[in-house]
């Protein structure tokens, strides 16, 4: 018997932001939570009859979310947010330190209104660190965490892995983990709390194992000269004849032997001296030349169904267009009894325990922008039974609580 996603019934208020905060909200929404984003109001546009004139926000991480527009610069807008807190389980704060405090929406103020609420706060730098008052982006956060210095080839400058490590892995996903821990704790004690996450500590924590390896022969040399950072010829990327690439990760001796067989080097005795670093430059040169002798497709045929740990480097363009590849993006983990929502579209006949039931418009390759105010009034009705004109009104494009007349 398949049950609804595990976070069904959890209500989340997500202050509009970009990247890490919305990603934490997306993870909650993909797992069944009702996520209501709080966007900036636009006078005479938001919550009006014409949504065609509204600008779509830059946030594409909007699956299963809805939005309301609120003027946080006005007391009535702040009071409206406060009126939602008793119904909420989680609030996501993506702002720099001090922003919500200036609005009168500090974590303490929220917990006073609703002692069960969980306030998730996402910052780049540590709140108590030397960079706490500075602006920054992913590249800055992973730079001061020590993680960025580990990426890159010998003799080259460090190479940031886009904004995956800081914003999403060390940021949004780490905040999501903290929110889940807080939900578990609330289930035991009945009280909410503040969850603090930052991308410096998040990315540094993710680098726990390689950081420890720096004290071992596996990674105690300069960048690009170690086994796992492109210094080793049997753990590297090689270009093929057609300008594509194959990834090699034949670390164990038995896998290395299979790699040599596929490359036509099985009778050279290379496996006997593979750990001698003095041989690595020549081995790298040989592997480079051999891989360029065939196309990627030809190498796939050679190594398919072997233990050589040699696979094609696939990009998302071909994954999206080729149904034979593993391009149907799925939830990060699968709960077989209570699966998450599907990330990509597909027939309803798919096994729902893989998280692959019917998908939504846009799927996992094309994020859909969310208009400020889109779907939010319906969410308020679902959460609280509120309706416009009866429980709230619109002032200058933002929602405000309707005054209760006194007889």
Contact 65, 35 (CB under 8 A): yes
Q: Which of 89, 138, 167, 236 is catalytic?
A: 167
Nearest CA among 301, 292, 318, 312 for reference residue 246: 312
Q: Which helix (H) or strand (E) holds 27?
A: helix 20-30
Left (φ > 0), alpha (ψ -120 to 50) or beta: where does 29 sit? alpha
Active site residue 315: no
Nearest CA among 212, 225, 163, 116 for reference residue 18: 163
Give dist(CA 403, CA 355) in Å, integer: 44
Give dist(CA 226, CA 218) in Å, integer: 6
DSSP 375-396: BHHHHHHHHH---BTTTEEEET
Return all residues near 185 (Cβ < 8 A) that are at least 6 apart. Answer: 191, 193
Give dist(CA 218, CA 85) in Å, integer: 51
Strands 310-312, 118-123: parallel, antiparallel or unpaired by DSSP?
Answer: unpaired
Instruction: Give the residue carrying structure tokens 């799925």.
Output: 330
Give dist(CA 87, CA 185) in Å, integer: 19
Tell me the Cα Rg of the chain: 26
Residue ranges of the alpha helices (H) in 96-193?
99-102, 107-113, 138-145, 174-189
Give dist(CA 89, CA 86) in Å, integer: 8
Return all residues near 90 (Cβ < 8 A) that are at least 6 apart. Answer: 10, 11, 12, 13, 28, 33, 117, 118, 119, 120, 179, 183
Active-site positions read 167
């Amino acid at each position: 018997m398949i049950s609804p996603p595990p976070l069904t019934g959890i209500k989340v208020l997500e202050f509009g932001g970009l990247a890490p905060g919305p990603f934490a909200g997306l993870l909650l929404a993909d797992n069944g939570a009702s996520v209501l984003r709080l966007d900036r109001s636009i006078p005479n546009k938001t919550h009006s009859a014409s949504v065609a004139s509204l600008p779509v926000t830059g946030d594409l991480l909007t699956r299963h979310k809805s939005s309301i527009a609120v003027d946080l610069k006005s007391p009535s807008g702040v009071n409206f947010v406060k009126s939602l807190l008793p119904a909420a389980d989680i609030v996501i704060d993506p702002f720099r330190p001090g922003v919500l405090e200036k609005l009168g929406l500090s974590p303490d103020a929220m917990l006073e209104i609703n002692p069960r609420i969980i306030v998730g706060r996402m910052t780049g730098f540590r709140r108590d660190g030397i960079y706490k008052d500075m602006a920054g982006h992913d590249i800055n956060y992973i730079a001061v965490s020590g993680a960025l210095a580990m990426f890159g080839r010998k003799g080259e400058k460090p190479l940031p892995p886009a904004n995956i490590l800081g914003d999403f892995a060390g940021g949004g996903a780490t905040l999501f983990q903290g929110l889940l821990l807080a939900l578990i704790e609330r289930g035991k004690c009945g009280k909410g709390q503040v969850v603090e996450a930052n991308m410096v500590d998040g990315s540094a924590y993710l680098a726990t194992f390689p950081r420890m390896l720096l004290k071992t022969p596996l990674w105690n040399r300069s960048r690009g000269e170690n086994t796992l950072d492109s210094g080793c010829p049997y753990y590297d990327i090689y270009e093929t004849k057609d300008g594509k690439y194959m990834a090699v990760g034949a670390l164990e001796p038995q896998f290395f032997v299979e790699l040599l067989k596929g490359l036509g080097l099985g009778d050279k005795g290379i496996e006997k001296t593979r750990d001698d670093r003095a041989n690595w430059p020549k081995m790298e040169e040989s592997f480079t030349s051999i891989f360029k002798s065939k196309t990627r497709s030809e190498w796939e045929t050679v190594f398919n169904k072997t233990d050589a740990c040699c696979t094609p480097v696939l990009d998302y363009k071909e994954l999206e267009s080729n149904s034979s590849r593993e391009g149907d993006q799925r939830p990060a983990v699968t709960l077989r009894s209570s699966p998450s929502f599907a990330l990509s579209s597909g027939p309803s006949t798919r096994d729902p325990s893989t998280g692959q039931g019917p998908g939504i418009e846009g799927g996992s390759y094309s994020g859909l922008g969310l208009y400020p105010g889109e779907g939010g009034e319906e969410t308020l009705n679902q959460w609280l039974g509120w309706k416009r004109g009866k429980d709230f009104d619109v002032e200058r494009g933002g929602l405000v609580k309707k005054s209760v007349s006194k007889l």
